[in-house]
Amino acid sequence: MPALETRAALDKAAAAIHPDQVSWRHHLHQNPELSNREANTADFIVAKLAAFGIEEVHQGIAGHGVVAILRGGLPGSGVAGLRADIDALPVKETSGVDFASTVVDENYPGGPFPVAHACGHDCHTATLLAAAQVLASVKDQLPGTVMFIFQPAEEGPPPDETGGAQAMVDAGAFTSASPTMVFGMHVAPIPLGTVGVHVGNSYAASCLVKVRVQGQQVHASTPWYGIDPYPVAAQIISGSAQIYRQIPATNPVTVSFGHLEDVGRFNIIGDHVLLWGTIRCLDDGDMATAQDHLRVLVQNTAAAYGATATVDYLQDIPPVNNTPDWVSKVRPVIEQVIGAERVFDSPAVLGYDDMSVFVREFGGAYFNYGVQDTHLVGNSVAPVEGGRGMAMNHNPEFYADDDSLLDYLRIFVHVAYEHLLDLAQH
């Protein structure tokens, strides 16, 4: 079958499978699982892959990771990796859709937590399943191999556990086949059906921050007989917001704390406070600088109050780097699939995604795909009047338009096919 006919077959199969893609997405959305607990999600994935006739499936990688390998019927050296993350978030959903999650994880460390796919990983997973079925339907026309990577724990495992992309690499996920590229797209609140492309570091470097402030427990009515850790914690949070001023202003950096744990009550000043946060920077060379400044702030602030404090940096994630070479290979394929007018240059963001590990290890690219009723306003986005509004990733109201997922699927299968065809012809 000539390449033109294969491309047409891919589009025809994608259109036929789209209703299933949406159905799978709704199922996953109603049954979300937190990082490193994606057991049922993995079982669902494996069952679907078996139904598609994909025989080479590896399960239980780095927890609940799944890798499926589809070897094409034509000779070719390419191994096109397609990746989806499969975990959800500890968020109580308020999107209003009729397939909204009501799941609560009673046993997760620090929980119980409501659980929701508030970052769109249900879209990612359902689409990668659909891509597997589409590409399996033209297996005999594929000049090489396609690898489907279903990654757990992208949102970060519990602090005392390992997980995510690096854990999959370390666990030998790619010993059966080594990708010649890995491609993915994150759904985002950019205009429906558009693709945002950034050359260079598009997602930030990240680390998890754990600060423990140690005081001395005392009755709340007599704080002078103890050492109160709360003012220390408050000053650390306040002071951390100024760390960006100690790094060149041209390099975006954020230091944020999102969770506090203590052991007191209204009339007991507890003996310690735990702060959990994150550092983000687009230039990963700034990470050590930000960490050093935060460490000095933590230790000196504690000393000023007669307390002690420690800071630990965990779960280091490198930035997603889309090199000019890979963007020049992948972007034209996307423009051919959906039209150049729907592909735009987007700014970098301080969100992180450990897809960066795969891109760094094997090459490839990672872009954003629009699933909401928004429009571009300069380098930003705003809701379309009369639409469903704009809800950021990790927001309880986050939503994704089902109809937009067809072109999302088409992009995945065409990027994989064109990569294999390019390597087979050169």
pLDDT tens figures, 178-203: 999 999 999 999 999 999 999 999 99
Share the mean pLDDT of the chain. Answer: 97
Query: Looking at residue 379, what is its pLDDT?
Result: 86
Residue 263 is encoded by which pair of tokens? 């052991």
Tell me whether residue 361 is annotated as binding.
Answer: no
Tell me whether residue 155 is annotated as binding.
Answer: yes
Query: Taking 80 as the threshold, does the pLDDT of residue 1 lie above it?
Result: no
Query: Taking 70 as the threshold, does the pLDDT of residue 273 lie above it?
Result: yes
Which class is domain 3-200+320-425? alpha beta
Query: Looking at residue 2, what is its pLDDT?
Result: 87
Pairing type for strands 253-262 and 272-281 reads antiparallel
Tell me whether residue 426 is annotated as binding.
Answer: no
Q: Which residue has the higher pLDDT, 377 or 1?
A: 377
CA dist., res. 411 & res. 146, Å (int): 14
Could you tell me if 210 and 312 are in contact, meaning their C-beta atoms sit under 8 angstroms apart? yes
Tell me whether residue 124 is annotated as binding.
Answer: no
CATH level 3 topology of 205-317: Alpha-Beta Plaits (3.30.70)
Query: Taking 90 as the threshold, does the pLDDT of residue 264 lie above it?
Result: no
Task: Indicate the domain borders of the chain.
Answer: 3-200+320-425, 205-317
In total, the chain counts a number of residues equal to 426
The pLDDT-based confidence of 311 (bands split at 50, 70, 90) is: very high
Between 150-154, 260-264, 398-402, the lowest mean confidence (pLDDT) is in: 260-264
Its pTM stands at 0.96
What is the average per-residue pLDDT within 108-118?
96
Tell me whether residue 121 is annotated as binding.
Answer: yes
Decide if 3-200+320-425 and 205-317 have a common fold. no
